[in-house]
Amino acid sequence: MLIKNQESIQLLNTAIIKNKEKKIDSKFEERLANTCQAPAMEALGVAITHLSNELSISRDQAAILIVDTIKELEASWNDYLLIEGIEKIKENLKN
């Protein structure tokens, strides 16, 4: 089955990647520089140090924990919003 669909799968994967390329802002270096200079970055540095001291872990480990926590929050909200959207669609289909 996979061999039969291999070409289609490759074409779709290529299309997905090309579609993502179109969405990349070519000014990412400028955005990255601006983000690194933002006051929030300084606050994150303070948070990293605080968490590192609080848990007696390295600053690298503390930074990873903070990033993982933010990613989990975002993933949870994405799931919630997706479920809400699906529920709305189901309601609309019933009506």
> By residue range, what is the domain housing residue 54?
39-95
Map the chain to HEC letters.
CHHHHHHHHHHHHHHHHHHHHHHCCCCHHHHHHHHHCCHHHHHHHHHHHHHHHHHCCCHHHHHHHHHHHHHHHHHHHHHHHHHHHHHHHHHHHHC
Q: How far is CA 28 from CA 22, 36, 77, 91, in A?
A: 13, 12, 25, 40
Answer whether residue 94 is part of any domain.
yes
pLDDT at 38: 95
Answer whether residue 55 is part of any domain.
yes
Total domains present in the chain: 1
pLDDT at 2: 56
- Write out pLDDT tens, residues 68-80: 999 999 999 999 9
- Write out pLDDT tens, residues 33-85: 999 999 999 999 999 999 999 999 999 999 999 999 999 999 999 999 999 99
Predicted TM-score (pTM) of this structure? 0.65
